[in-house]
Every structure is written in structure tokens, then in C-alpha cells.
Structure 1
Amino acid sequence: MERATIKELSEAVICELKRLGYASGTIKLYQKLYQKLLRYADEKQIHQHSQGMCHRWLRDSFGIDPTLVIREMSNEHKYRRSSYLPIRVCQCLTEWQLHGCLPLKKQGKLAALELPRQFKEAYDSYAAYCSEAGYSERGTYTRLNRIKRMLLFFDQHGATSIQSITAGRISVFFRSQIELDSRTVATMLSASRMFFRHLYRNGFTQEDLSEKLPLVKANRKYRLPRIWKQEDVLSVLSSIDRGSPVGKRDYAIMILVTRYGLRSADVKSLRLSDLRWSENVIEFEQSKTRKLLRLPLLRDVGWALIDYLQNGRPHSEHLEIFLTCTVPIRPFGQNSCALNAILAKRVRQAGVRISREVPKGMHSLRHTLASKMLANNVELPVISSALGHVSSEATSVYLHTDIDQLRECALDPEEVLSNETT
């Protein structure tokens, strides 16, 4: 079947942008860029769309490397915001040709890189296996990202096929990751072990390379959770302008995280049906553990949600509670950093100075809640239940953050010495 022409695809994309409710000014920008692309293609006597042709147009007309996100060592070639739209109009053509839909955001550095062709069949086979095994969407995404990073490394170092991957090449790859902490290395090894075991069992390799991987124990207690000061959390919450739809949404999101310690993925996937108003509870299946979590609907949380749902949430057929406030109206992507971006924005607006040692993502508020509960003498099993941990072992790390209680357990040196002399 012959590929669609650039003109046909660009017209289809413009129609879809109009259907999704994009602003007329934005649509005009797309139209201007497509006109430039069509003129370039006519000069080159090219009519059918291809990703390679788009890459040449971006380089020749704008000096843009579409796979480049940022090069910190060279400000001259730093990714510019103005580069985004030309790259996106090309992505829209490709996505519409392949899937009949539009990409919703710019790609990150890893996502923008194409998987080497010689590894694609094996990679797709493993991706299908993850789906059939029922792994969570978020878990599958991170697992496949680790595999893709490794395969790109093999391609750069001369591996021409899956069969040419050896224990030696794998060793070289993991030596290149040695500066990462033990938990990151352990998760990468775990993902790689499952990948190579799948390849062997399905005939992609003649040798089970999973047996060649070393065992590295993830040290959960290597780094203590860094937590926020309570007054900083309150300052950020109180600074949010709740008179606007965006403010109502952001406040409701942050109050959910600060009061319950919910994971970002669970906030993004929370549905209207999860709010059991008659029972005064929130009940949902956690994205990470697949366990049901049932929480009391606290008064301040309930009123924040009501205010957003009645006066801030855009009209939509989507079942998720929290939606974007710009077109196309949609739920937050499960793999996006949207909630972290919301928090960063609200911290800046509040003028709060957070210590450099404290992480600035939503997950740090989860750590803060756990430590606060511990300081208030809440027992570990209760904290585990509230945070949705599978066991209290995951929660025990917060014991190390309660300095006051640790002091109570400390021995008096003079008392120790006096006991030794008696």
C-alpha cells in the first residue's frame, strides 16, 4: 500500500486539531509550517511522507537535530523552546500515518531515539509478554525504558543482532552504569534478567544470558528520606489562588497528596467512581501494588474536591477526576511529570525556599506525611496501611528520620562506662 502524501497527512492533522478544539492561532502556526514543509518537499521532488524526509527538513530549514533535547556542555546547541513546534508538526504527521491519532506532548531524549532495527522483533516480543503477564502500565513503561537504553548502548558498540549480544557486552554496559546507586543498578539488572530469560525461552538467543548477570542487593536503607518542613508545606498550600479553575485543581491534587500521601500515578488515575460520597470514603486499586486502598474522605479534602468538580473541572466524558486545563482536554499521562511540574510552579509562586537536599517532587510530600505520622506516634502497620505499602518493611525506613525518638533510644555514654567498671 502506498504511503499517504504529505499534503493529505497535513490536511488530516489540521482537521484533527480543529476537532480537538485547538486555538485558531495555534492552528495557523501549524498551517504555516506545513506550507514550508510542502515547499521544501516540492523542491526535493518528494511527495510521500517519511520520518527521514522530515528530519532533513528540520536540519536544512531550522538547524534542528530532532533527537537532541539538551546538551549541557554546549549552550550553542542547547534545545530551544522555539524548536518544539517544528518537531511536533513532524511527529503529528508520523503519528497520524501510523496510528490515526496525534502525539500529546514532546518526546523526551530516550523516547525520541528510534530503537535499532536489529533488536525490534525481540523488543516487541518482550513488550507483548509484559502486557499478557498483566504488569502495570507504569511498571511496563519503566521496564521497557531500561531495556531500550541497554539496546541503544549495544547498537552504539557494534552489536548487529540479538545473537551478537554476549556476556562481555553486557558487562561493559553495566560498568558504564556503575556511578548509579545500588537500588537503580539492582532494578536495571532485574529488568535485564527478565528480558534475556524471555529471549532464551522464545528462541531469540541460543544461550540464557540471564544467568550471566551478577546479583546486586538493593540497599533500601542506603539513603534516608528527605522531608519538608511542615510550615513550607502549609505555605505552598495557602498560596494557591483557588479562585481559578487551575488553582482549584492544583489545590485538590496537593491536598490529596499531603493528607493521604498518595502516589502521583494514583492521583492521575483516580476516577469519579472512586469517590464514595454516600460512604464518605475514597476507594481505588493502587497502580503499583494492585491492592485495594480504602481511605476516609476527610472534610478538607472533600470540600476541595467538590469545589474543583463543581467550579473548576472542564466538561468532559473522561472518567478521571483530574484533567488538563488546555486543549485537548484529557487526563494526565501516566508517564508524565505533570504533577511534579505543578508542585514546582506552586513552590516558586509561594516564594518558599526548600533545602537543596530535599527532593522537590510530589513523592517527597509522601515521605513527609509518613515521617509526620511517625512523629505523632502512629504505629508502623497503620502508616503502611495509609500509604498503601505491601508490608511494614517498606515503612521502617522512616524510623531513621524521627530524630527525637532515636534520641530516646540512645544510651548514655557515662552510664555505659560506669557499668563496665562495676
Structure 2
Amino acid sequence: MMKKIKVTDLCSELEQKLVELHYSDDSMRRYRKVFREFTEYADGCDYSQSKGTDFLVWKFQQLGGFVTGGEHSKNGMYYFRAIRSLAEYYNFGILFRRNEFHGEIVWPEPFKEATEGFLRYEVEYGCSHWQYERCNAVIKDMILFLDSASVHDFNGITSGLISRFIATMVGLAPVTIAERISALRQYFKYAYLNEYTDKPIAAYLPHPPQRARTKLPTVWTEDQIESLINAVDTTTPVGKRDYAIILIGARLGFRIGDILNLTINDIDWDNKQISIVQGKTGETLTMPLPSDVGWAIIDYLKNGRPITDYQNIFVTHNAPYVGCPFKSTLRTNLSKALKRSGITIDKTKHYGWHSLRHSLATNLLQNNVEVSTISDILGHSDPQVAHHYLRVDMKGLSTCALEVEVMDYAKE
């Protein structure tokens, strides 16, 4: 049985939470408008997710649909965003922004013990940070979906509900769908084996086909990489941050998740080295710290980074400056830099942050670096994985040693 709370009280609680998180005046104005209209619509009733859905349908019919362009489209977006935020806050007691958790998640009581036990189990058996976050995200989405269907415990889950939930993943990459289904399968197995349910729910989940990588990765030439780096606007705090992140990706080939997890303690300034524990493999990777990367990080720390107690080097530039920048924001900023650089973009290909990693591998190969050495630089647990990045230039394979030049720079 879910907790009971009046719509007006839930809206007031969430509004206070948004204020504490320093949401902008414009955002607060839009949220308050939705909360006020939803409170009037509910007319003193208790909150339920179905009540929120009914309100959206009513508003949609009242307005004759939500527009998709211009200022009014933003108003429509806030109706969906505010009602979803209420559902998340009601179920979990915290806010989610693009899979970032703002606060300590409190799982609904019928799922609490099983979920917390499962996540502890995952950590004890070496689950990576990013796998842990993926499990959190997909379990959260599933519980929200179940709540919308008025199902509040394991025993109410049916094969039909599972099929409908899987259908909500349409549009995601096949590998992402497979990862989410795998996480749910482990979760439901844990719940069954530990007697939180007597239903073998994991058997309801489909087995998506395993697809081999067939697309060639997007790569940039060394000249294009330099053009991209030079196109970043380093006169602004955000530009200084993005410039340092791009340099790390281009020079060292780090994954974007590992870059965002960097802390000042990961850098040995005296020995000019940078060490990370890779989120994907859990393996430690230590690399020389190139001069331009070191100076870019120093410039951001001194002249661009907001004042915050957050331990990671790279932070969001929206108050209260807690948490890493959103990957979607960084992706947009990378696209802007690519346009300013004058590089011709093939819109049929993916050219996100991982393309920097692809490009480093391919350019090293073209400079006659051994595949095994490239695999070490990329931090692969299996050297064969490197071949995915190198298919664009298999003719260039040869044997030689990699010499990494790291210029001296002074610590300030």
C-alpha cells in the first residue's frame, strides 16, 4: 500500500525541494504554474500517478495539443516534466535530472529490502560504478512504470506488464536495451532466490539477440582534432571546462565517464601522471600527463570552476554546483565546437565523445604503434577489444614502440 498525501501537500514539498536546489526563477515560475493548475484539478484529492496522467490528458485536450516549436513548446514541456517530477518524488523521495540522483534515494517500502540487498550484492561482487548506476536507473524506471499501473509489489507483476515496460525502451540502442534487460533479469533472480517473491519474474524477460558491431567508428584526423581543440571558446568558464575535457579525451583517450569522475587526487603533478580506476572495467590506468592537458586543468581550476565542495574536477555550472555536467550538455557543446572548427560532419555517423577515443586509436595505428600498446593506452581488459577501433585502418598494422613525449611545465 503506497503512502497517502494530498496533491497540494506533495506539490508544496516538491516546490520547496526545487528552491533548495537553486532552480532558476524562470523554472520555478513554470513549475509553480503547473503545480497550481494540478492542485485545482485534483480538488483536494490524494495524489496518485494516475491522477497526474489524467491531468496531462485533460490539459492536452483543453489546449488542443501541445506545440512542438517556439516558446509555447517550453510551456508544454514543463507540464510533462513537473508531473513526472512529482511521480519520482512521491515514489523515491528525491529528484532525478537526466539520471542524476539529487539526494539519497529511498526505495518504496514493498521493494526497499530487495532492492537495497541486490545493490549491495552487486557491489560486493565487483560491479562497476556505471553498472551500479545503470541498475539504479532501470529499477527506478520500472517501479515508476509499475506505479502507473497501480502495481506496488512484486506479486502484482505479470508477463504482460513486463512486455509493456520493455516496449517503453523503443528508440534506445540495441546494446542499451540488452544491458537494461540484463540488469532487470539479475534483479528479479535475486528477489526470487531470496524469497522476496514466489514468482519467477525473470522468466518473463525476453532474450534480445546479441549483435556484433557492424558500423565503422567515426574518426577524426590529427589535423581535424587540432582544429576542434582550437575552436573551443576558452574565454568563458564553461569553455575552459569543455576545453580541458576535450583535451583529455583527445590526448589520452579516456572515456567520458572516467573524465567526469576525475578528482584532484587522481593527478600526480610532481611526476606528471594521471591515474584513474576505469568505470567500465574496474582496472587502474596510469598515463603520462601531457603539458597542454595539465595547463588546461590548472586554468579551469583557477579561472573557471565554480566555488563548490564537490570533489570531482569537472562540475555543472548551474547552482548549487553539485554534480558532474550532464553528458547531453557536453554533447551539445562538442557539436558547437565541431561546427566552429569547420569540420565537415557526416550526419549519418555518430560523432560523440567516444569519437575522440576512436580517433586516438586510429591515429596511433597510422603512426605504426602496436595494437597491444594501443590497447594498453585505451585501458582495455582484453587486447582484442582494440580491433573495434582499428577497423578503419587495418592496413597500417606494424610493430613499433610508442614514445610519449610529455613537455615540462611548472606546477602553480
With the length of structure 2 as denominator, give the TM-score of the two structures.
0.72
Instruction: Work out whether residues 22 and 320 of structure 2, in 8 Å CA contact, stay in contact via their aligned partners in 1.
Output: yes
Q: Match for residue 40 of structure 1?
A: 41
Please state if 1:314 is matched with 2:306: yes
Amino acid at match of 2:365: L
Post-superposition offset of 1:224: 3.7
Farther-moved stretch of structure 1 (242-251 vs 119-128): 119-128
Amino acid at match of 2:386: T
Q: Match for residue 233 of structure 2?
A: 241
Q: Select the residue among 55, 71, 80 that pairs with 1:57.
A: 55
Post-superposition offset of 1:319: 0.3
Equivalence map 1:129-140=2 (5 Å): 129-140=121-132
Taking structure 1 as reference, are residues 145 and 60 closer, same or farther at Cα in structure 2, changes over 3 Å only?
same
Instruction: Work out whether residues 268 and 331 of structure 1, in 8 Å CA contact, stay in contact via their aligned partners in 2.
Output: no
| Matched positions, count | 384
CA distance in 2, matches of 1:359, 1:16: 37
Please state if 1:355 is matched with 2:355: no
CA distance in 1, matches of 2:56, 2:206: 43
What SS does the corresponding residue of 2:344 show, helix, strand or coil?
A: coil
Deviations 1:229-259 (A, max 9, x none): 3333222221111101111111111111011
CA distance in 1, matches of 2:208, 2:9: 53
Post-superposition offset of 1:320: 0.8
What SS does the corresponding residue of 2:382 show, helix, strand or coil?
A: coil
Taking structure 1 as reference, are residues 192 and 378 closer, same or farther at Cα in structure 2, changes over 3 Å only?
same
Farther-moved stretch of structure 1 (391-400 vs 281-290): 391-400
What SS does the corresponding residue of 2:97 show, helix, strand or coil?
A: coil
Post-superposition offset of 1:288: 0.9
Taking structure 1 as reference, are residues 64 and 286 closer, same or farther at Cα in structure 2, changes over 3 Å only?
farther
Could you tell me which runs of 5 or more consecutive residues in structure 1 were left unpaired when the two chains were aligned: 66-73, 108-117, 155-160, 409-422
CA distance in 1, matches of 2:374, 2:194: 43
Deviations 1:271-296 (A, max 9, x none): 12212223321112111111111111
Deviations 1:62-110 (A, max 9, x none): 4599xxxxxxxx989xx94432222233344344444443333489xxx
Post-superposition offset of 1:140: 3.8
Could you tell me which runs of 5 or more consecutive residues in structure 2 were left unpaired when the two chains were aligned: 101-109, 147-152, 400-412
CA distance in 2, matches of 1:211, 1:92: 31
Instruction: Work out whether residues 226 and 357 of structure 1, in 8 Å CA contact, stay in contact via their aligned partners in 2.
Output: no
Amino acid at match of 1:342: N
Instruction: Work out whether residues 245 and 312 of structure 1, in 8 Å CA contact, stay in contact via their aligned partners in 2.
Output: yes
Amino acid at match of 1:310: K
Identical-residue share of aligned pairs (%): 32
Taking structure 1 as reference, are residues 87 and 132 closer, same or farther at Cα in structure 2, changes over 3 Å only?
farther
Q: Select the residue among 216, 223, 244 that pairs with 1:231.
A: 223
CA distance in 2, matches of 1:330, 1:191: 28
Q: Match for residue 252 of structure 1?
A: 244
What SS does the corresponding residue of 1:246 show, helix, strand or coil?
A: helix
Q: Match for residue 5 of structure 1?
A: 6
CA distance in 1, matches of 2:243, 2:378: 20
CA distance in 2, matches of 1:18, 1:309: 28
Pick the structure with greater CA Rg. 1
Post-superposition offset of 1:361: 1.1
Equivalence map 1:22-421=2 (5 Å): 22-41=23-42, 45-63=43-61, 80-105=73-98, 129-142=121-134, 194=186, 198=190, 201-202=193-194, 222-332=214-324, 336-402=327-393, 404-405=395-396
Amino acid at match of 1:278: D
CA distance in 2, matches of 1:313, 1:304: 12
Amino acid at match of 1:387: L
Post-superposition offset of 1:300: 0.3
Amino acid at match of 1:61: K
What SS does the corresponding residue of 2:385 show, helix, strand or coil?
A: coil
What SS does the corresponding residue of 2:307 show, helix, strand or coil?
A: coil
Post-superposition offset of 1:188: 7.4
CA distance in 2, matches of 1:166, 1:153: 13
What SS does the corresponding residue of 1:293 show, helix, strand or coil?
A: strand
CA distance in 2, matches of 1:143, 1:27: 31
Deviations 1:326-362 (A, max 9, x none): 234222378x544333322322344432224542111
With the length of structure 1 as denominator, give the TM-score of the two structures.
0.71
CA distance in 2, matches of 1:208, 1:266: 36
Instruction: Work out whether residues 234 and 243 of structure 2, in 8 Å CA contact, stay in contact via their aligned partners in 1.
Output: yes
